[in-house]
Structure 1
Amino acid sequence: MPEFMLLLYAPEVEGAQERERWAALPVWEEITESLRKSGTLVANGPLHPSSSATTVRVRGDETVLTDGPFATTKEMLAGFYLLDCADLDEALRHAARLPTARYGSVEVRPLRRSAP
């Protein structure tokens, strides 16, 4: 079966909005466990804030390191799910279940296993 990467994007928040998101933890745990039990979940995980990122670029013989994400955006990459699904439609159904889809976005991409 093909694998799909679900990339979770959300605005960085603090205070009450951050506590509201953490309050949804039982929903996350329920969804994750259901994906695990069905054999769909390959891997998943949250990411630290984008301020902890280091971006690496190699130009010619020079390696350039930049603190922070590649681009300044309103939404950060907050986490991911790697799913083994029958098809794109199944991956999209799972993406819509994730709480991030309600306040951010979930990008769904098939994994490429070989060169084009």
Structure 2
Amino acid sequence: MRLYLLSVIEPSVGEPPPPAEMEKIMAQVAEFDRSLKEAGAWVFSGGLHPPGTATTLRPKGDDVLVTDGPYVEGKEHLGGFTIVQCEDLDAALDWGRRAAEATTLPVEVRPFRW
């Protein structure tokens, strides 16, 4: 079994979906999470606060610079993630596809390096 990271990519600009649509999306995400757990593939998941709440630590010579905000400005950011345990990449891609359908957002699937 390998571990895979499913990264949910959110837009950094624009308005969030209206409340009724967001409620539907959150129900879909809850169902996705339930199915992951029932299949024994769920390891950990979490949503993140917006990029403006981030602090970036950057090595510079013998020091580490601390700055508020994300490492780079972009049109998209990491909004949340799920770690799954699967037999292979095909199984992880299937969970990634389901995550994209549930969240209505792009999902990047990446294996952990061991």
TM-score (norm 1): 0.86
Give % identity. 38
Long gaps (5+) in structure 2 = none
1:38-74 deviations in Å (ceiling 9; x for gaps): 1100000100011101111112211111111111111
Long gaps (5+) in structure 1 = none
Alignment RMSD (CA, Å): 2.1
1:54 match = 55
Q: After TM superposition, list the pairs within 5 Å mapping 1:1-116 onto structure 2.
A: 1-12=1-12, 17=17, 19=19, 20-99=21-100, 103-113=104-114
Q: 2:86 & 2:7 partners in 1: Cα distance?
A: 15
Q: Report the Cα offset of residue 18 of structure 1.
A: 5.5
After alignment, is 18-27 or 63-72 more displaced?
18-27
TM-score (norm 2): 0.87
The question of whether the paired residues in 1 share the 8 Å contact of 2:13 and 2:75 is answered with: no
CA distance change for structure 1 residues 103 and 27 in 2, over 3 Å: closer, same or farther?
Answer: closer
